[in-house]
């Protein structure tokens, strides 16, 4: 458990950071909170030549509402910062709750939303609920910026579409007609447990019918996975136990779990069914929770 | 029995509480010495491999590297903890036997250089086929972990007491069940650490240890030194639970590195290295057969076990004997047979973990007993009360039981848990289970053969009587023995606890004590301390007799006041008398020593499990199971213990909670997992799931008013006894909740889910 040698950079501005990222040779890693990066370095899974810390980019620590974009969350906002945000609690309580229950206090105090996304882990806790809420990410590079749906950002375990010189700066959650959303995670103890399976759901219910639903599965595919056939099965249906059961079964069929030390593929598939059912029920009955 | 004491029996604050809470307490890893180097051990990446060559030249060239050592630089004498099987070397010379086996070590100016230097040591291996499955390790054609141990058998036990075949033949019902127990690891919060230094021919080692004495003994033996030239002392220790009972590569390699460099060398294990060093719970296959009469009275029992020892013996011979020895404790039966094979595998060595060999066999036996009760239609509580051991009895394997309130523990647990009510009005998805446990109050014999007393102590009152210092070799590893022993010293002296100081666990300044294992210190160290205190008291009363002109028999001393038993107007303070004693007679001191009486039978292995006294306890737990996921919620646990006189109630209940915490983890959550090459895949605390505060249920811990006639003020053990019932209790509560039994530990959510699923499928099939 020791840190291999690396060069440490602390750019003062976003532009400077992008320039550095573009110009540095060798293996370059961006450092936000460090809860993933430093751990990987200590166990030898990541050996960068350069660490570029974003700690001076104070503007990335804000959460604000912007007309037309919705709630905009700076990439360096910590999980605890998300939990404590009045704005998020008011509009999408499901996200603060996911951030609050994802890890122990030490981690939620230092880990950031941007890091949680760029890390690209299929079992990360924030991407499923963010994808369910239709979130987009803003990437800034030397030659400009681009905005894309979070769903398209993560492409494999630890893999994203971010370019060498790009920094994920903001996550935005658009204004939306959804009436409820929630994130359910199944871990093997009550605190400090990685997800065996997680399910995020966002629903729009009008006059007792489900007009739209987004269901995102964590830890059961190489990426946070949209359960598209489950979503399709709900559209236009009256809210009923049968409809929910049917969608839950479809979600289980959509999932592509593997067996590992936390659970077998068979168990995980069944857990997807159970937690999709529970998440849908909660989002339908209780709103954004 | 119910006499009120001034100091013992009260929840006095921990003597080291302020230092620990404020962060001032220094652990071995916090210590710094001038010119201190940092050391690190290179370990084997292969479970079983021949070492073809080791090239240290590149590492030696790295700036900051002060020494690189391999098997060529260290004594070749094999060491271990159980003298019958010394099978470990400081460094491997011909082959490595598990992923993590010691190959070389470096000492450098800083830690970072150590890691770089280790990478520069080139070891050429020829990878050999490995033995990874203990159940097939004895099969013909399996590779040998140690060439001198045929069929990989490390220890073989065959014992029979009474006539089991006859008992089974006469039984109304005979049943056999087989259970599997898993590997778990103690996970003390403080990593193992040692700082070694030489001064001329004398070696001093600061170590995070449960027993400075055993360390001193084995280190002196390894280096051919007099034990007087080896000083081992501990600072504060952040837990041991059996895993810090034997010296490691940190002490042995550290001593050699310190010698070569003539500088202090600090070494420690990181979390992953701790898992690899291991010495935790053995995995075990346990086949249990009992024969009972129609009322469920046990007539005889047969335990047929196999144990995964890992690559070395450690304390495993004792673990193997303990597995059978403590089975006939809580229930009375005359016929008992025990067969055991402890086998070598190419996995980390197993040893003694809280409860030593007892918790898994107890899990198997208690689960089995519930199955038997179900076969007979008897309530699990009733079958236990019917078989409960009585005081002043002898077990079939010759353990003499004095105090024993097994039946009262069960009855009290039944009452406070609401057992009868919960059994009568069953809530779907909920279950309640009961189990019992018992444990030694210190081992009757030392780990290595010696006639030395097991504990000794002395007390020195300072010149003006304002403080008294207890000197003891006993070891506070967090459990609170320093506090308890100071309470006992003050009580025996008639002094105040608040004025006690303690110097402990330093082989140079404190008298011999074997240390913190086998739940021995309150009883054994405590007996020595009590004698020392009484010797002080005798002298101070003689001095007071002179000062007050009253006969010493008329005087007594309590809470620092010496008073006349016959006259109200005559008293002086302990302080006054102590000062006068110093002026007239010199230092006021008392000493005490404890050696257990000769215990146990004469058969092979009769010594393991002997103890001057045994604790007893019953545990009930209630769980709720989520039928869809198998998730287990623990609704409550009720523990009732017979541990003799309680010296410090708060610390006692702390021990019960801690034991329960570990037992719970072993029951459902914890397991050391390996890949198919023998490498641990969860040697960290994210996926080795120790429980968190959030997981702990409400716990009601009670004690029975009990008095052990051989113990100091009637005290006996508590620290490990409370782990023994827990695994079986969970197994039975989960069984009660779902009506099917999972036969292997840990009882994970997935196993529970699968069992429920199979049950539903079977029921559906039966209907169809």
Show the domains of chain A with their CATH numbers.
Answer: 7-53 (3.30.43.10), 58-173 (3.30.465.10), 180-286 (3.30.390.50)
Cβ of A267 and B753 within 8 Å? yes
Cβ of B750 and A267 within 8 Å? yes
**Residue in A190, A261, A270 nearest the CB of B681:** A261
User: Beta strands A50-53 and A144-149: pairing type?
Assistant: unpaired
CA distance A189 to chain B (A): 7
The answer on pLDDT for A140 being more than 60 is: yes
A90-106 mean pLDDT: 94
Any A CB within 8 A of B385 CB:
no
CA distance A140 to chain B (A): 34
Which pLDDT score is estimated for B236? 96
**Residue in A1, A191, A262 nearest the CB of B692:** A191
Higher-confidence residue: B703 or A4? Answer: B703
Interface test with B, best of A190, A248, A260 (most B CBs within 10 A): A190
Any A CB within 8 A of B686 CB:
yes
CA B584/CA B589 separation, integer angstroms: 14
> Scanning every residue of chain B, which has its alpha carbon at the shortest distance from the alpha carbon of A272?
B629
What backbone phi and psi angles, to 5 degrees, belong to B173? -145, 130
Any A CB within 8 A of B63 CB:
no
Q: pLDDT tens, A236-274?
A: 999 999 999 999 999 999 999 999 999 999 999 999 999
Q: Are the beta carbons of A279 and A195 closer than 8 angstroms?
A: no
Interface test with B, best of A100, A188, A196, A262 (most B CBs within 10 A): A188
For chain A, first and last CA: distance in Å?
39
B residues 84-113 lying closer than 8 A (beta carbon) to A: 111-112
Any A CB within 8 A of B691 CB:
yes
Cβ of B753 and A188 within 8 Å? no
Contact residues on chain B for A193, CB-CB shorter than 8 A: 689
**Residue in A2, A188, A191 nearest the CB of B669:** A188
**Residue in A186, A190, A274 nearest the CB of B695:** A190
Which pLDDT score is estimated for B453? 98
B residues 696-755 lying closer than 8 A (beta carbon) to A: 748-750, 753-754
Q: Which two tokens stand for residue B78?
A: 């094999």
Q: Are the beta carbons of A200 and A280 closer than 8 angstroms?
A: no
Contact residues on chain B for A192, CB-CB shorter than 8 A: 686, 692
DSSP B139: S
Interchain CB contacts (distance < 8 Å): A and B: 48
> Scanning every residue of chain A, which has its alpha carbon at the shortest distance from the alpha carbon of B674?
A261
Three-class SS of residue A276? helix
Contact residues on chain B for A188, CB-CB shorter than 8 A: 669, 689, 748-749
Which pLDDT score is estimated for B585? 97
CA B567/CA B554 separation, integer angstroms: 9
Cβ of B112 and A2 within 8 Å? yes
Any A CB within 8 A of B119 CB:
no
Q: Which residues lie closer than 8 Å to B714 by C-beta, 6 or more apart?
A: B1, B403, B644, B645, B706, B707, B708
Interface test with B, best of A261, A276, A279 (most B CBs within 10 A): A261
Interface test with A, best of B63, B113, B627, B631 (most A CBs within 10 A): B631
Cβ of A193 and B115 within 8 Å? no
Three-class SS of residue A31? strand
CA B750/CA B689 separation, integer angstroms: 14
**Residue in B631, B694, B750 nearest the CB of A191:** B694
**Residue in A3, A186, A194 nearest the CB of B629:** A186
Which pLDDT score is estimated for B4? 82
CA A154/CA A127 separation, integer angstroms: 9
Three-class SS of residue A70? strand
Any A CB within 8 A of B673 CB:
yes
CA B184/CA B283 separation, integer angstroms: 8
Contact residues on chain A for B270, CB-CB shorter than 8 A: 1
Any B CB within 8 A of A191 CB:
yes
Any B CB within 8 A of A261 CB:
yes
CA distance B729 to chain A (A): 19
Q: Nearest to residue B483, comparing CAs of B658, B659, B713, B651?
A: B651
Any A CB within 8 A of B631 CB:
yes
Residues of chain B with pLDDT under 50: 1
Q: Is the peptide bond before B11 cis (omega within 30 degrees of 0)?
A: no
Taking each helix axis as running N to C, give the angle between helix B406-417 and helix B380-387, from 0 to 180 degrees, rounded to the nearest 10. Answer: 160
Contact residues on chain A for B752, CB-CB shorter than 8 A: none
CA distance A134 to chain B (A): 29
Q: Which band of pLDDT confidence, cut at 50, 70 and 90, is reported for residue A1?
A: low
Any A CB within 8 A of B674 CB:
no
Any A CB within 8 A of B272 CB:
yes
Q: Which residues lie closer than 8 Å to B526 by C-beta, 6 or more apart?
A: B484, B485, B488, B647, B711, B712, B715
Q: Nearest to residue B523, comparing CAs of B650, B614, B589, B657?
A: B614
Any B CB within 8 A of A70 CB:
no
Any A CB within 8 A of B4 CB:
no
Q: Are the beta carbons of B338 and B289 closer than 8 angstroms?
A: no
Which pLDDT score is estimated for B1? 44
Taking each helix axis as running N to C, give the angle between helix B359-376 and helix B316-325, from 0 to 180 degrees, rounded to the nearest 10. Answer: 20
Contact residues on chain A for B754, CB-CB shorter than 8 A: 267
Sequence-distant contacts of A238-247: CB under 8 A, at least 24 apart: A238/A208, A238/A209, A238/A210, A239/A205, A239/A208, A239/A209, A239/A210, A239/A284, A243/A210, A244/A277, A244/A280, A244/A281, A244/A284, A245/A277, A247/A213, A247/A215, A247/A276, A247/A277, A247/A280
Q: Which residues lie closer than 8 Å to A58 by C-beta, 6 or more apart?
A: none
Q: Which two tokens stand for residue B15?
A: 């003597």
Cβ of A189 and B695 within 8 Å? yes
Cβ of B693 and A191 within 8 Å? yes
SS3 string, B693-747, reads HHHCCCEEEEECCCCCCCCHHHECCCCCCCCCCHHHHHHHHHHHHHCCCCCECCC
Cβ of A261 and B687 within 8 Å? yes
Q: pLDDT tens, B18-60?
A: 999 999 999 999 999 999 999 999 999 999 999 999 999 999 9
Show the domains of chain B with their CATH numbers.
Answer: 17-24+454-594 (3.30.365.10), 31-128+189-239+244-277 (3.90.1170.50), 345-394+402-439+612-762 (3.30.365.10)
**Residue in B689, B693, B754 nearest the CB of A188:** B689
> Scanning every residue of chain B, which has its alpha carbon at the shortest distance from the alpha carbon of A259?
B750
Strands (E), B118-199: 122-127, 153-161, 173-181, 193-199
Q: Which two tokens stand for residue A289?
A: 């929770």
- Buried-exposed string A219-228: b where 16+ CB fall within 10 A, e elsewhere: bbbebbbbbe
CA distance B602 to chain A (A): 47
Q: Are the beta carbons of B251 and B205 closer than 8 angstroms?
A: yes
* β partners of residue B622: B432, B636
> Scanning every residue of chain A, which has its alpha carbon at the shortest distance from the alpha carbon of B110?
A2
Q: pLDDT tens, B69-81?
A: 999 999 999 999 8
């Amino acid at each position: 458990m020791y840190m291999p040698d690396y060069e440490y950079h602390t750019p003062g501005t976003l532009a400077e950071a992008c320039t550095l990222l573009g110009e540095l040779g060798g293996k370059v890693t961006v450092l936000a909170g460090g809860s993933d990066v430093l751990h990987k370095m200590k166990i030898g899974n990541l050996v960068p030549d350069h660490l570029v810390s974003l700690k001076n980019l104070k503007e990335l620590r804000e959460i604000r509402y912007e007309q037309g974009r919705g709630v905009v969350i700076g990439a360096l906002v910590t999980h605890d910062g998300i939990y404590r945000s009045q704005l998020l609690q008011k509009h999408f309580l499901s996200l603060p709750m996911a951030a609050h229950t994802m890890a122990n206090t030490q981690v939620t105090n230092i880990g950031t939303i941007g890091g949680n996304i760029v890390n690209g882990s299929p079992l990360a806790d924030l991407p499923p609920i963010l994808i369910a809420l239709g979130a987009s990410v803003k990437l800034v590079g030397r030659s400009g910026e681009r905005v894309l749906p979070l769903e398209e950002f993560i492409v494999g375990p630890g893999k994203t579409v971010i370019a060498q010189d790009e920094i994920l700066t903001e996550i935005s959650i658009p204004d939306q007609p959804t009436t409820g959303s929630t994130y359910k995670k199944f871990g093997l103890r009550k605190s400090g447990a990685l997800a065996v399976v997680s399910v995020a759901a966002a629903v729009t219910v009008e006059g007792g019918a489900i007009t739209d639903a987004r269901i995102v599965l964590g830890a059961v595919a190489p990426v946070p996975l949209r359960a598209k056939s489950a979503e399709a099965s709900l559209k236009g249906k009256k809210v009923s136990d049968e409809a929910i059961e049917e969608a839950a079964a479809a979600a289980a069929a959509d999932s592509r779990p593997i067996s590992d030390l936390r659970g077998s593929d068979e168990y995980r598939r069944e857990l997807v069914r159970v937690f999709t059912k529970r998440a849908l029920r909660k989002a339908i009955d209780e709103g954004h929770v | 029995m119910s006499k009120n004491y001034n100091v013992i029996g009260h929840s006095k604050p921990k003597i080291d509480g302020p230092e620990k809470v404020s962060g001032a307490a220094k652990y071995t890893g916090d210590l710094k010495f001038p010119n201190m180097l940092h050391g690190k051990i290179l370990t084997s990446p292969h479970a079983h491999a021949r070492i073809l060559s080791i090239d240290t030249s590149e590492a030696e060239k790295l700036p900051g590297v002060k020494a690189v050592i391999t098997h060529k630089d260290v004594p070749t004498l094999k060491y271990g903890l159980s003298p019958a099987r010394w099978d470990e070397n400081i460094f491997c010379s011909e082959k490595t036997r598990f992923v993590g086996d010691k190959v070389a070590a470096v000492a450098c100016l800083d830690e970072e250089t150590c890691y770089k230097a280790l990478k520069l040591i080139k070891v050429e291996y020829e990878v050999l086929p490995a033995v990874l499955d203990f159940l097939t390790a004895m099969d013909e054609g399996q590779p040998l972990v140690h060439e001198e141990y045929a069929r990989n058998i490390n220890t073989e036990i065959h014992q029979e007491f009474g006539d089991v075949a006859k008992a089974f033949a006469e039984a109304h019902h005979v049943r056999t069940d087989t259970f599997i127990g898993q590997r778990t690891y103690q996970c003390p919060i403080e990593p193992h650490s040692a700082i070694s230094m030489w001064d001329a021919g004398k070696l001093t080692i600061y170590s995070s240890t449960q027993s400075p004495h055993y360390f001193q003994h084995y280190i002196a033996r390894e280096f051919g030194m007099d034990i007087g030239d080896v000083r081992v002392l501990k600072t504060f220790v952040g837990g041991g639970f059996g895993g810090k009972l034997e010296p490691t590569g940190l002490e042995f390699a550290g001593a050699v590195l310190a010698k070569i460099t003539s500088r202090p060398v600090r070494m420690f294990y990181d979390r992953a290295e701790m898992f690899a060093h291991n010495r935790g719970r053995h995995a075990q296959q346990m086949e249990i057969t009992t024969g009972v009469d129609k009322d469920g009275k046990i007539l005889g029992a047969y335990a047929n076990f196999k144990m995964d020892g890992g690559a070395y013996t450690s304390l495993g011979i004792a673990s193997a004997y303990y597995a059978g020895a403590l089975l006939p404790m809580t229930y009375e039966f005359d016929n008992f047979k025990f067969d055991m094979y402890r086998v070598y595998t190419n996995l980390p060595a197993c040893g003694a973990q809280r409860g030593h060999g007892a918790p898994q066999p107890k899990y198997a036996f208690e689960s089995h007993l519930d199955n038997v009760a179900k076969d007979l239609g008897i309530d699990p509580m009733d079958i236990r009360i019917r078989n409960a051991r009585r005081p002043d009895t002898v077990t079939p394997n010759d353990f003499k039981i004095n105090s024993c309130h097994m039946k009262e523990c069960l009855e009290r647990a039944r009452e406070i848990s609401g057992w009868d009510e919960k059994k009568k009005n069953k809530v779907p998805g909920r279950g309640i289970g009961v189990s019992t446990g018992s444990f030694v109050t210190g081992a009757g014999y030392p780990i290595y053969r010696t006639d030395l007393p097991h504990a000794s102590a002395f007390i020195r009152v300072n010149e003006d009587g304002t403080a008294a210092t207890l000197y003891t070799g006993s070891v506070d590893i967090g459990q609170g023995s320093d506090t308890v022993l100071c309470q006992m010293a003050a009580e025996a002296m008639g002094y105040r606890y608040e004025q006690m100081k303690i110097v402990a666990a330093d082989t140079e300044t404190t008298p011999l004590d074997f240390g913190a294992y086998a739940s021995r210190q309150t009883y054994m160290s405590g007996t020595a301390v009590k004698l020392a205190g009484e010797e002080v008291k005798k002298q101070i009363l003689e001095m007071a007799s002179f000062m007050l002109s009253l006969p010493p028999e008329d005087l007594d001393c309590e809470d620092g006041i010496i008073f006349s038993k016959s006259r109200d107007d005559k008293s002086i303070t302990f302080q006054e008398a102590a000062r006068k004693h110093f002026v007239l007679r010199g230092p006021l001191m008392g000493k005490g020593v404890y050696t257990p009486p000769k215990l146990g039978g004469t058969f092979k292995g009769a010594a393991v499990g002997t103890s001057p006294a045994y604790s007893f306890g019953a545990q009930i737990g209630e769980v709720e199971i989520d039928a869809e996921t198998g998730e287990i919620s623990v609704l409550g646990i009720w523990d009732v213990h017979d541990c003799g006189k309680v010296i410090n109630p708060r610390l006692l209940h702390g021990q019960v909670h801690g034991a329960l915490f570990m037992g719970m983890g072993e029951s459902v959550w914890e397991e050391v997992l390996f890949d198919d090459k023998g490498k641990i895949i969860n040697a960290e605390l994210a996926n080795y799931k120790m429980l968190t505060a959030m997981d702990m249920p409400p716990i009601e811990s009670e004690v029975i008013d009990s008095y052990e006639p051989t113990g100091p003020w009637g005290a006996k053990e508590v620290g490990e006894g409370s782990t023994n019932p827990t695994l079986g209790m969970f197994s039975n509560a989960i069984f009660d909740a779902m009506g099917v039994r999972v036969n292997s530990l840990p009882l994970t959510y997935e196993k529970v889910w699968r069992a429920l699923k199979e049950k539903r499928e079977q029921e559906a099939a039966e209907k169809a």
